[in-house]
Amino acid sequence: MAPKHKSPVRLRGHHLICLHFFNGEGYSPDFVANLRNVLERAEAGEQIKICEGADDVCSACPSLQEKRCLYSEDSEKEIREMDRAAIELLRIQSRVNISWPEIKKRMPEIFASWAGKFCRGCDWFAVCRNNKVFTLLLDEKAQSEF
């Protein structure tokens, strides 16, 4: 079946990791609906273009103002650091195209490292931690640290 969208799904670095734990929660009903749609497109096999800054998920976020994240005072800087770390861990480069299954394949080897650095202090930790995939991706040692 031909894809409904001509352009690839645009995702920033940290969304390549964090979106694996989406369970229907989000900042607003519009944000959730958009995120569900983005994930459906990725899961359906549309190519993902790695971008810098606000992406197709951020575009429906109430905290996005003039292409910057205003969720908190330091959020723009913090999420850009997360983007860089995710891209490095996943061994990809910004502005390249990749598929969602390829990213999924790389998650088991990189997730303990990611979780140890970013998850504990994250506002979404309680939500992600409840997702079975989160636990499945961590080995016993990493789990005992949470």
Provide the binding-site residues for ligand SF4, judged by CB under 6 A: 17-18, 21, 118-119, 122, 124-125, 128
Which residues does residue 98 pair with via DSSP β-bridges, in sequence order? 48
Greatest CA span in the chain, whole angstroms? Answer: 45
Distance of closest approach, residue 127 Cβ to ligand SF4, in angstroms? 7
How many angstroms separate the CA atoms of 146 and 67, rounded?
34
The DSSP string of 10-38 is EEETTHHHHGGG--S--SSHHHHHHHHHH
Which stretches of the chain are assigned E, i.e. beta strand?
9-12, 48-51, 64-65, 68-69, 97-98
Distance of closest approach, residue 85 Cβ to ligand SF4, in angstroms? 10
Distance of closest approach, residue 62 Cβ to ligand SF4, in angstroms? 17
Nearer to ligand SF4, 2 or 126 (CB): 126
Nearer to ligand SF4, 25 or 40 (CB): 25
Nearer to ligand SF4, 45 or 116 (CB): 116
Phi, psi values for residue 109, rounded to 5°: -80, -20
Distance of closest approach, residue 142 Cβ to ligand SF4, in angstroms? 12
Q: How many CB atoms lie within 10 A of CB 69?
A: 19
Nearer to ligand SF4, 5 or 120 (CB): 120
Which residues does residue 50 pair with via DSSP β-bridges, in sequence order? 11
Nearer to ligand SF4, 46 or 83 (CB): 83
Distance of closest approach, residue 93 Cβ to ligand SF4, in angstroms? 21
